[in-house]
Chains A and B, each alone.
Chain A
Amino acid sequence: MLSSKSFVDKLRENGFDFFTGVPCSLLSGLIAELEADREIGYIPSVREDAGVGLCAGAYMGGRQPVLLMQNSGFGYSLNAFTSLNLIYKIPVLVIMSWRGCGGKDAPEHIIMGDINEQLLETSGMEHSVLEENNLQQVLDAALKKIRNEKVPYTLLVKKGMFDERH
């Protein structure tokens, strides 16, 4: 397990300075950590696609945004990624919880859990699966993509990666 605080600190050390998202229980520890620091100014988005738009505007205004969402929200935001970020070249770091990973979850998560990685690949959205021992490595890959190609990069987060706060 990674500590939510150390992960948030790491993101900030790497220049990320704008945080928004739609919650998932798998990300609850992270969001609690972001909400606890008023200086961070975490913004609850009402929908994932609105979060994509918000981050796009923040990026063009000079910030380096992070968007948190459950993978269910990837479906809602797919058009935003394909007709905004990927054609205008507007990057964002997406922290996406991987519900339904391995086919073990509530019924509503099974299909997206199954197609999650393929859907990202088909859409031209590069991603890595966050593990306990690859944080710096995946962040470096994300930063390279974000700075050089200016497109979104997704970190998939499995259950148990962060503490959950209910």
Chain B
Amino acid sequence: MKGIEAFRKLAPLMKNEPTVLANGFISREFFNVTDRKENFYMIGSMGLASSIGLGVALAQSDRKTLILDGDGNVLMSMGTLAMIASCAPKNLMHIVIDNEVYESTGSQRTLSHEIRLEEVALSAGYKQVMRVTRPEEVQPAYEKLYQAEGPVFLLIKVEPGFDSSQGRVTHTPEEIRDRFMESITG
């Protein structure tokens, strides 16, 4: 399964949950599959999708909050997994699209071929973690973890295959912030 297939499986399952998307191909590709006002496209600040998502989840503790992260981002901020486990927001679901490379910068390898990130999350103290590798597993895993008490972690293994001719996110950063905040508080 390629990343875009994972996004096509995930997008119809998502309702109005605030969703923080990691920089690079994750934001770009998901934007091209489904743009929604609840998407916070993080265009810079690599590594911080998880901490931003944690902040949203803590501030909006009654709303399910999603983080759509990448393996490079998780590896860069592994300590944030400990913060998430320690704060233990019940409403937080951390989804990681793991293609084992920094695809947006030319597919240099990350370390997630050897390091099982869902096991790191479990060791840190996430309540439940799952790892899926086939497209048909995405929906049942998402639905199971969605019902579970968070923080939960869903790792989706994908093959590299980002189409870099696809456009970047067209909204300005301030527009992204405004619609995201409006979707939460408006």
Interface residues of A (CB under 8 A from B): 18, 43-47, 49-63, 65, 79-80, 82-84, 87-90
Q: Is B112 an interface residue (CB 8 A)?
A: no
In-complex Cβ contact of B79 among A50, A59, A82, A83 (8 A): A50
CB pair B56–A45 under 8 Å, yes or no, is: no
Is B184 among interface residues, defined by CB-CB distance under 8 A? yes
Known: A56-B52, A58-B58, A88-B177. Contact between A50 and B83, CB under 8 A?
Answer: yes
Whether B45 and A57, one on each chain, are in contact in the complex, defined by CB atoms closer than 8 angstroms, is no
Within the assembled complex, what's the spacing in Å between the Cα atoms of A87 and B174? 7
Check if A83 sits within 8 Å of B55, measured CB to CB.
no
| B79 lies within 8 A of A87 (CB) | no
Q: Using Cβ atoms and an 8 Å threshold, which residues of chain B touch A53?
A: 45, 47-52, 54-55, 80
List 20 additional contacts besides A47-B77, A79-B44, A84-B44; criterion CB under 8 Å: A18-B58, A46-B83, A47-B79, A49-B47, A52-B48, A53-B47, A53-B49, A53-B51, A54-B51, A54-B52, A55-B55, A56-B51, A57-B53, A60-B55, A62-B59, A62-B185, A63-B59, A79-B45, A87-B173, A88-B176
**Judging by beta carbons under 8 Å apart, are B44 and A83 in contact?**
yes
Q: Which of B44, B45, B55 has the most CB of A within 10 A?
A: B55
Q: Are A89 and B174 in contact (CB under 8 A)?
A: yes
B168 to chain A, nearest CB (A): 14
The reply to whether A46 and B82 form a contact with Cβ atoms under 8 Å apart is yes
Q: Does B148 contact A (CB under 8 A)?
A: no
A124 to chain B, nearest CB (A): 15
**Known contacts A50-B48, A57-B53, A79-B44; is-contact A62 B173 (Cβ 8 Å):** no
Chain A residue with the shortest CB-CB distance to B175: A88
Most B CB atoms within 10 A — which of A18, A59, A82?
A59
**A83 CB contacts on chain B under 8 angstroms:** 43-45
Interface members, chain B 159-175 (any A CB < 8 Å): 173-174
Interface on B for A, CB 8 Å cutoff?
A: 18, 20, 40, 42-60, 77, 79-80, 82-83, 86-87, 173-174, 176-177, 180-181, 184-185
Contacts of B54 in A (CB 8 A): 53-54, 57
Query: Are B51 and A50 touching (Cβ within 8 A)?
Result: yes
Q: List 8 A-B contacts (CB under 8 A).
A: A46-B82, A52-B48, A53-B49, A55-B55, A56-B48, A60-B56, A83-B44, A88-B177
Docked Cα-Cα span, A136 to B71, in Å, equals 45
Are B177 and A43 interface neighbours, CB within 8 A? no
A61 touches B55 (CB 8 A): yes
Instruction: List the B side residues contacting A62 at CB < 8 Å.
Output: 59-60, 184-185
What 8 pairs across the A-B complex have the smallest Cβ distances? A57-B55, A83-B44, A61-B59, A53-B51, A46-B79, A53-B48, A58-B55, A84-B45
Measured between beta carbons, the chain B residues less than 8 angstroms from A55 are: 55
Q: Which residues of chain B are within 8 angstroms of A44 by Cβ–Cβ distance?
A: 83, 86
- Which of A57, A79, A88 is close to B173, meaning CB atoms less than 8 Å apart? A88
Q: How far is the CB of A143 from chain B (nearest CB, A)?
A: 19
Residues of B within 8 A of A58 (CB): 55-56, 58-59
The reply to whether B177 and A60 contact each other, CB–CB distance below 8 Å, is yes
In the complex with contacts A62-B184, A88-B174, A50-B59 CB distance below 8 A: no
Residues of chain A lying within 8 A (CB to CB) of residue B82: 46
Query: How long is the Cα–Cα vector from A61 to B57 in the complex, in angstroms?
Result: 8
